[in-house]
Amino acid sequence: MTSGPVPPSPLRTPEQRFTALPDFPFEPRYHTLAHAAGSLRMAYIDEGPRDAPVVLMLHGEPSWSFAYRHVIAAVAAAGYRAIAPDHIGFGRSDKLAERSDYSYAGFVNWLSDFVRALDLQNVLLLCQDWGGPIGLSTLARMPERFSAVVAANTLLPNCEAPPKGIAGWPGELIENWAAMTAAADDLPVAEIVNGVCVNALTDEEKAAYDAPFPDASYKAAVLEFPGLIPIRESMPGCAANREVWKLLESWHKPFVTAFSDSDPSTAAWAEVFRRRIPGANNRWHTTIAGAGHFVQEEQGSALAEVVLAVLSDSAN
């Protein structure tokens, strides 16, 4: 009796590519996920007291936990536990070689496994870009573990007309981004991040964003992520997101938006979150000045102030 083909082993970025990262002295930790190839190693940063309230910081495309370095430092210094995982395919986490290895549900399953394995409780979810759909979907599976949400330049696509969604979804910007990455076989990661910042990244910061990807073979997740955005009602994720919205419409714990002033790709979603989620009522929402899409990169201190204010309010 012959067995089927053995799935290829995941790729692992050599650790030497992560030396001398600017303002990122944190030691990585690793969680092992079950996978057809045997296992996957999911990297994460975990700073601050083990028994303190948790801030779970979720990155998006095509970044990694490095983007949250200033938020991590501020949250841990204030006495809270700062946890910032790298999604599979990003950062120090293992990379699957084929674009078909990645799915919307797969990312949610991996994060759900991570939250359960670390038994995270009393969690403030801080989510940007794809961190929103993945993190809010995980929250919907286990709302009892989460105490608050700070949504920063993120979205939860549902292909619904206003007031439940945004007008003109997905719009030319996202349509073009999904089409471009679908046809690409490589992407200049650091230049993409730099291109949607208000202020230019330094050469050292650019090198840090490129560090996880020695060559194009490591970038299957980077290339596939944009194509997973539900821009059509028939796409995987759209129906699932509508179920997440149902949960959020009964969410009365704090939900605060902290979008930047220069991110046209997500700006309209802030109002949808504030309109639909009861926990967003009578909250101090803010617009952070001087940042493009990666608000945690350009205005990490300002974003950390919002997070710490929510934590302080929740404790009173």
Write out the catalytic residue numbers: 129, 263, 293
Angle CA 269–270–276, to nearest 5:
85
User: Is the peptide bond between 10 and the residue preceding it cis, with omega within 30 degrees of 0?
Assistant: no
CA distances 272 to 43, 145, 150, 160, 208, Å, are 32, 24, 14, 11, 33
Contact 103, 123 (CB under 8 A): no
Return the H-helix or E-strand segment holding 94: none
CB 162 within 8 A of CB 284: no
Nearest of 164, 167, 107, 95 to residue 141 by alpha carbon: 107
Instruction: Give 56's DSSP letter.
Output: E
Angle (deg, nearest 10), helices 104-117 and 131-141? 60
